Amino acid sequence: MEITIAIGLPGSGKTSILNDKLNSMNLDVSDFFYIDEVCNNNIEQLTHLLNEEREYFKNEPSQGIIDMLFIDLRSLRELKDLLDREFKDYKMNVYLFNNDLESALVNDFIRNRDKSAELAIRHMSENWEFTETAIRDIFPNVNIISKEVHKPTSEEFLLWAKKVHNRNITPKYIRSESWHVKSKLSIDQHIISDDVERTPSEFKALYDFLKIFDAQEHYDTLMDKVEVVSDSLSDMYDTWEFKYYQIDTKTVLDAINYDNNLIWYKWHGEKHHFITNRMEDYMIYLDMDGTIADTYSIDGWLDRILAHDVSVFLDAKPADKSKVMELLKVLDDDVTILTMLPECTLKGKAREDYFKEVKDSKKTWLKKHFPEFTKIKFIDYQKSKSKYWREGDVLIDDSSSQIKDWPGLAIKTDWALPLDTYLKNKRWNKIT
């Protein structure tokens, strides 16, 4: 029997290459096993999954594929102990990916999962143990196939760079790079340690921000107001505890006597435009129904939707375009329409083509009334729009629940109100 695993950072391409091998085998379901659950370095979980697979075996299978994240050599030794117990004889195949941190980070980022694997990638890369010699010490007769981590395109690298570049300066806070205190995966020999209590001494993001305003002379004074923040992050595999320096952006602007009445979400003007080297603008997500489309004022709108009448989305009157565009001009960022599909488009509740008809109708309405907006995303009924949020993004919506769920800055629209209502005294919090 052949057993195949892949060793590499998350985002290396392990699952893809194992799937390719599986698809090439053309075996009966009872003649192989494939375990692709996230075992997270957990041999006990792997043992349980293997026992579940056994009910499909007629005899000992000819092929086995294990798609598991191997954190360190210890997990390989435990795997060998398990395989030696469970199978009479086997040949071991290992796809060994190189330790390419940057490519793995980019690949993980562009997968656009609800949770990234960034923390685990950085931890594994920093504590990389997987050499051919080390693997052969565990599996003496192993067949090792060396693989390069999938290289992202230049466009994909750019997207990743944009994300990294945007982390430290936000409308609410200026933050330093963090230092790591503890990692869940680092139970013993791999503790990433910096336990020495630090006091703010060098805060590059703050200095760079002041430089934009020609206000570097305030740096020393503001450093007395900087706090050390403890936090943690979890991803698919790991939990990191870390610390960083932080200061409230408004505190900085007040200290340099900058007229922030003209500032809301970004800092405008050529001289004071700290976004100029950020590589991308933030995204404004703009709702349709109830926000720029007066859908709910149409007589019998709900009954028409439940009857699968798409014309309700074509008949909606547009909001006051001058107010919409004035607000968006103040925000001065890229706009994407983010609109919810109706309840009856849920699986089993509508004819098959209604889903597409709703999308086409909304696109047609948008092209007629707001041709400026060429990007549109659809979200299923009652799903939270917060899944699209990245730090700095803004949501403009009429739904109180969507406003509440949005992690960042959100504006609840009522176009009957004067525009100043949205812009005064609420620059640093959610606007309602």
Looking at the chain, the whole-number percentage of residues with pLDDT higher than 70 is 71
Helix axes 43-53, 73-86, angle to 10 degrees: 30
What are the C-alpha distances in Å from 319 to residues 68, 248, 378, 401?
52, 36, 20, 21
Over 80: is that where the pLDDT of 114 sits?
no
Residue 61's pLDDT band (boundaries 50, 70, 90)? confident
Residue 105's pLDDT band (boundaries 50, 70, 90)? confident
How far, in whole angstroms, is CA 21 from its chain's centroid? 29
Domains of the chain (ranges plus CATH)? 2-153 (3.40.50.300), 166-277 (no CATH), 283-423 (3.40.50)
Looking at residue 259, what is its pLDDT? 43
How far, in whole angstroms, is CA 418 from its chain's centroid? 35
Looking at residue 122, what is its pLDDT? 83
Q: How many residues does the chain have?
A: 432
Q: State residue 207 phi and psi, 5-degree precision.
A: -60, -45
Greatest mean pLDDT range, 259-263, 269-273, 325-329: 325-329
Token pair listed for 379: 């979200």
pLDDT in tens, 173-229: 788 877 767 766 654 444 445 444 555 667 888 887 777 666 788 999 999 999 988
Amino acid at 350: A
pLDDT in tens, 337-370: 999 988 764 445 556 678 788 999 999 999 999 9
Looking at the chain, the whole-number percentage of residues with pLDDT higher than 90 is 18
Residue 89's pLDDT band (boundaries 50, 70, 90)? confident
What would you report as the CA-atom Rg of the chain, rounded to the nearest whole angstrom? 27
Token pair listed for 247: 């200061």
Looking at residue 394, what is its pLDDT? 81
- Strand segments, DSSP code E, in 179-306 are 179-183, 227-234, 239-248, 283-286
pTM of model > 0.85? no
Looking at residue 308, what is its pLDDT? 85
Q: Whole-angstrom Cα distance, residue 423 to residue 429?
A: 11
Min mean pLDDT across 66-75, 150-159, 160-169, 386-395 is at: 160-169
Looking at residue 160, what is its pLDDT? 66
Indicate the average pLDDT of the chain. 76
Over 90: is that where the pLDDT of 26 sits?
no
Looking at residue 192, what is its pLDDT? 44
Q: Whole-angstrom Cα distance, residue 213 to residue 266?
A: 14
Looking at residue 143, what is its pLDDT? 95
Please say whether the beta carbons of 132 and 81 come within 8 A.
Answer: no
Over 90: is that where the pLDDT of 266 sits?
no
Q: Whole-angstrom Cα distance, residue 399 to residue 383?
A: 12
Helices vs strands, H then E, count in the chain? 16, 14
